[in-house]
Amino acid sequence: MVGDFREFLSTMKSKLSEFWTIYKTNTFGMIGLFMLMIFVLLAVLADFIAPYGEWEMLVGRPFEPPSIRHLFGTDELGRDVFSLVIYGTRVSLVIGITAALLSTIIGGVVGLIAGYFGGIVDDVLMRITEAFLVVPAIVLMIILAAILGPSFINMIIVIAIVTWSPIARVIRSQVLVVKELPYVEAAKAVGCSDFYIIFKHILPNVTPLLFANMILQVSNAILAEAALSFLGLGDPHHTSWGMILHYAHGSGALAAGYWWYVLPPGICILLLVLAFVFIGYALDEIVNPRLRRR
């Protein structure tokens, strides 16, 4: 038992070492990882970095322009925008990563089952998948968010429910290829159960693809959260970049020329999305060796 565990640790260490050797040669991947680490540090150390509390009001005059005391100025309630942006990093990151993880799990399970079993199971699951693909994502998210109500958890559920379908199609296509491999056919011939084959032979082969798609899905989830919060469907009890933009729009900041209330959260959304896109690009090269040879 101890020997098997040591062998497992050795194998994992070897795979991680190989992964890092390939990953660190990708310039975009390293840039994305560096950008992501900055945002993670901001989220973790927000209580120590932010000069003011998340709900601390009247720390300055309403709509005070940027200064040494308030780097990003203040909002309509006299709150420090710099502090709001730092605290907003937590919510945007947590919702983005959690929603992407849940979406990947749903899409991965549907893709695995549809691709492996085929037949009527595949037809039913793919018709459901196509139904989600046909309906515009933002419209469906708005409807679901309005029905479920503004909540941190509901936001994650809504984004996951709407965004799983592309992952299901990708995984199903890969499963259709993997299940025809000789060792999978051999496992079926010796009487291995479907559960064993899926988790022992199929899933390990599609896991890198699942992980790469999840990373890219995080950027979509962050944009979706920002869009829903901007439309007023976010959780007002949590500060996110989308909620900051919502309050800025509601107070007429952009029309009045208070650019410092709008640009910082917008730029943060852009940079965080780019970070995950760059990381996803690097992972795509690792998953698809043909891309590395180009």
**14 — pLDDT class (breaks 50, 70, 90):** low
HEC profile of 121-174: HHHHHHHHHHHHHHCCHHHHHHHHHHHHCCCHHHHHHHHHHHHCHHHHHHHHHH
Tens-digit pLDDT profile for residues 144-179: 988 888 888 999 999 999 999 999 999 999 898 888
Single-letter amino acid code for the residue at 180: E
Bridge partners, residue 80, by sequence: 74
Cα separation, 154 vs 212, in Å, equals 25
DSSP-derived secondary structure letter, 260: G
**173-to-135, 183, 194, 233 alpha-carbon distances in Å:** 22, 18, 18, 35
- Across the range 7-16, mean pLDDT stands at 59
pLDDT: which is higher, 19 or 235: 235
pLDDT for res 4: 42
pLDDT: which is higher, 209 or 80: 80
**17 — pLDDT class (breaks 50, 70, 90):** confident
Tens-digit pLDDT profile for residues 117-130: 888 999 999 999 99
Q: Which residue has the tokens 């070897």?
A: 14
Contact by Cβ (8 Å): 241, 269: yes
pLDDT for res 134: 87
Tens-digit pLDDT profile for residues 185-234: 888 788 778 888 888 888 888 888 888 888 889 999 999 999 999 988 88
Of 271, 258, 272, nearest in space to 95 by CA: 272
pLDDT for res 10: 64
pLDDT over 80 at 13, yes or no: no
**227-to-138, 224, 249, 269 alpha-carbon distances in Å:** 8, 5, 13, 11
pLDDT for res 8: 43
pLDDT over 90 at 6, yes or no: no
Domains (ranges, CATH) in the chain? 20-292 (1.10.3720.10)
Q: pTM for the complete prediction?
A: 0.86
pLDDT for res 56: 86
